[in-house]
Structure 1
Amino acid sequence: MTVPTPASSDRSNEPGSGLPEQPANNMPDGPPEGSLAWRRLEFRAAVLLIFMVLLLGGAVLYLMWVRGAFEATQRLVLTTDDSEGVSVGMDMTFSGFPIGRVSRIELGDAGVVRILVDIPLKDAPRLRQSSVFTLEKGIVGAARLRAFTGVPDDEPLPTDAERVVLRGDVSAEIPKMVADARDVLQNLNRLTSAESALAGTMVELRSFTARLNSEKGGLLAAVTGNEADAKQVTELLARTNQLLKSLDSVATRVDGVVQKADQQVLGKDGLITDAQAAVKQLNSLLQDARQTVVKVDAVLKDVQSVAGNAAEATNNLGDLRADVESSLLKIDSLITEINRKWPFAPKEKEVKLP
């Protein structure tokens, strides 16, 4: 291409024009349009432009793939009353790992904020019917959307499920904490003031300590409040001590009486021993009486068999009667002895024979 020069430039090179001579333009011209070199240049520029477009498109597609734009997801709807700190693209974490991303935030009916979260299908089984979702905001840093599952064996969370977000805003609790601290300080000032109940209690405690350390009454005077009551308490304690001593002596006497009664009743020569001996004697007498009855039976048989010998039978009956009377006398003396030694024996002394 040729660049036209103005007419003044042509005249400046003429001799006698009075202007300084300018050097001639010796730059080479570009390739002419339509030539082979021009077409090669256009082809290279087009290839470079297409490569840049492909590179930008590949980068965009890679970023979308990394961000999970082509991954199958499950929708979860979280509701709250305030969406402060929540932004589109914010991650929802589970045990510190991101398992979902906020795709949209919208305002529903009655001022309820709906947070739409897309969860990949491979991470969806970690969320159950009993899962809890929280939105935590610290004093420093951005808000965090977290999910917790306490029962891993619960039913899986269905698609488009709605759950309420539990908010934990530390900065929102600061005014309440300051108000509570102010109330605590005010209550502490009331407690430590001169007109407070604590001050009166300290005064009473000081006076009680003074009475306790005094020589008049000591602890009793400090407890009762005056010396007269302390003396009465001391006298009462002395009388109580004497009464305890008397009770101790009475208990000693009762113990001696019980020991004597034990010896008389259960001792070696006691009433129980004598009663056992009497019972043994009574058993022997009863055995003698049984033998006597056997003899009587034999004699009666002899009387019936030997009816002719009346004199001899009479003599045998006299001897038998004498034996029976002696046995009865022994039994009577034994019963008398038992009645004398045994306090609970019946008063009747008669022995009735069958």
Structure 2
Amino acid sequence: MQATPQTPPPTPEPIARVERRALLLLVLIGLLVCGFLAYVMYARGVFESTQRLVLVANDSEGVIVGMDLTFSGFPIGRVQRIELAEDGKVRIVIDVPRKDARWLRTSSIFTMERGVVGDTRIRAFSGILTDPPLPPDSERVVLEGDTSAEIPRLVASTRAVLENLEAMTGAESSINTTLAHLSTVTERLSGRYGMLTGLLGSEDNAKKIIATLDRTNALLARTDQRLNGQGGVFDGTQAAVNQLTLVLTDARASLQKVDAVLVEAQAVGANARMASADLGALRAEVEVSLRKVNQLVDEVNRKWPFARDTEIKLP
């Protein structure tokens, strides 16, 4: 029977080499983990210089640690903790990197929006970027907008609108009454006298108005014929005016003769008797001319009654 050869025990040197490799591998894995953690912390802004901002709200529903504070859609801060103040208000402590703090001003407004679907969002709005920067450790009241809280009021408003629509479309509603009146007016407008019937309410009233207009037109036509026609008032008045012009022309000539005689009378004092005789004759001519003028004026007043005094007095 042949004996089985025995394996010699391992020497201590290979075991020590394996232990060193394993230890080196563990150290390398630890360094990788630490490097990854350091990178994550750096990416999360743990090592950045920050300033604190405190937002005061009525409740912290939907707010969690690590939530972002956004400005124009970009995250500029992160919620670090949530506290309950002595007055029952909620204090939301936010760390804002100093490089992003330039977007926050003393006039900035902070809102917290809660939607029916989706997470709660905290936003910052800075309308005037030229205002002074927001100091560190500032406290601002956040404006809250809860969409779910508006649903009951929206439902109540919708119900009121539906009730109003039902009242408006009912059989006795004012809209139906107005439509009925409008239909009546439309029927009148499409009648014989058109819009005149719609305005006056019936065809009889419209017929009376039309008859009155016809009579008025006929009266105006007769009046125009009497005034402007052949032998009318205006025609007779024109003839009288022409005669009056002739008479006044004669009177003017007579008066010119009187003026000449008066000049001669003043120049020649010795012939006073002769001048007086001439003056008497000329005065008689003037009186005749003035009587003609009075007759023509009376004729004009008879044809066209002017309300004025037509008497002509001699000097």
Q: TM-score range by the shorter chain?
A: 0.5 to 0.7
Q: CA deviation at 1:69?
A: 1.1
2:66 is paired with a residue of what secondary structure? coil
- Select which of 100, 105, 112 maps to 1:123: 100
Match of 2:178 in 1: none
Q: Which stretch of structure 1 is more off in the superposition, 87-96 or 161-170?
A: 161-170
Match of 1:145 in 2: 121
Match of 2:270 in 1: 307
Match of 1:337 in 2: 299
Alignment TM-score, normalising by the size of structure 1: 0.61
Match of 1:30 in 2: 12
Match of 2:78 in 1: 101
Matched, 1:281 2:243: yes
Matched, 1:92 2:65: no
The structure whose Rg is larger is 1
Structure 1 residues 243 and 317, CA gap change in structure 2 (3 angstroms)? same
2:149 and 2:311 mapped to 1: Cα distance?
A: 110
1:110 is paired with a residue of what secondary structure? coil
Contact 1:92 1:144 (8 Å CA) reproduced: no
Q: CA deviation at 1:256?
A: 1.9
Task: Flag structure 2 segments of 5+ consecutive residues without an equivalent.
Answer: 174-182, 185-200
Match of 1:165 in 2: 142
Contact 2:76 2:97 (8 Å CA) reproduced: yes
After superposition, what is the alpha-carbon deviation per residue over 1:263-284, rounded to whole angstroms, capped at 9, x for unaligned? 3335564334433443343343
Q: CA deviation at 1:101?
A: 1.2
Q: For 1:326, give the aligned amino acid.
A: V
1:163 is paired with a residue of what secondary structure? strand
After superposition, what is the alpha-carbon deviation per residue over 1:32-72, rounded to whole angstroms, capped at 9, x for unaligned? 9xxxx96x888777766655554443333222211111111
Q: For 2:270, give the aligned amino acid.
A: A
1:111 is paired with a residue of what secondary structure? coil
Q: CA deviation at 1:112?
A: 1.9
Q: For 1:340, give the aligned amino acid.
A: R
CA RMSD of aligned residues (A): 4.4
Structure 1 residues 49 and 259, CA gap change in structure 2 (3 angstroms)? same
Structure 1 residues 180 and 26, CA gap change in structure 2 (3 angstroms)? same
What are the residue-to-residue correspondences of 1:290-305 with 2, within 5 Å?
290-303=252-265, 305=268
1:296 and 1:172 mapped to 2: Cα distance?
A: 113
Q: CA deviation at 1:75?
A: 1.3
After superposition, what is the alpha-carbon deviation per residue over 1:11-46, rounded to whole angstroms, capped at 9, x for unaligned? xxxxxxxxxx998673134259xxxx96x8887777
Higher relative contact order (CA 8 A, sep 6+): 2
Q: CA deviation at 1:120?
A: 1.3
2:91 and 2:301 mapped to 1: Cα distance?
A: 109
1:252 and 1:315 mapped to 2: Cα distance?
A: 68
1:302 and 1:24 mapped to 2: Cα distance?
A: 192
Matched, 1:265 2:243: no
Contact 1:338 1:345 (8 Å CA) reproduced: no
Structure 1 residues 126 and 286, CA gap change in structure 2 (3 angstroms)? same
1:109 is paired with a residue of what secondary structure? coil
Match of 1:57 in 2: 34
Alignment TM-score, normalising by the size of structure 2: 0.67
Match of 1:323 in 2: 285
Match of 2:114 in 1: 136
Residues paired across the two proteins, number: 280
Contact 1:133 1:163 (8 Å CA) reproduced: no
Match of 2:60 in 1: 83
Structure 1 residues 166 and 320, CA gap change in structure 2 (3 angstroms)? closer
1:333 and 1:173 mapped to 2: Cα distance?
A: 99
Q: For 2:129, give the aligned amino acid.
A: D
Structure 1 residues 149 and 269, CA gap change in structure 2 (3 angstroms)? farther
Task: Flag structure 1 segments of 5+ consecutive residues without an equivalent.
Answer: 1-20, 206-218, 221-238
Contact 1:77 1:117 (8 Å CA) reproduced: yes
What are the residue-to-residue correspondences of 1:194-205 with 2, within 5 Å?
none
1:279 is paired with a residue of what secondary structure? helix
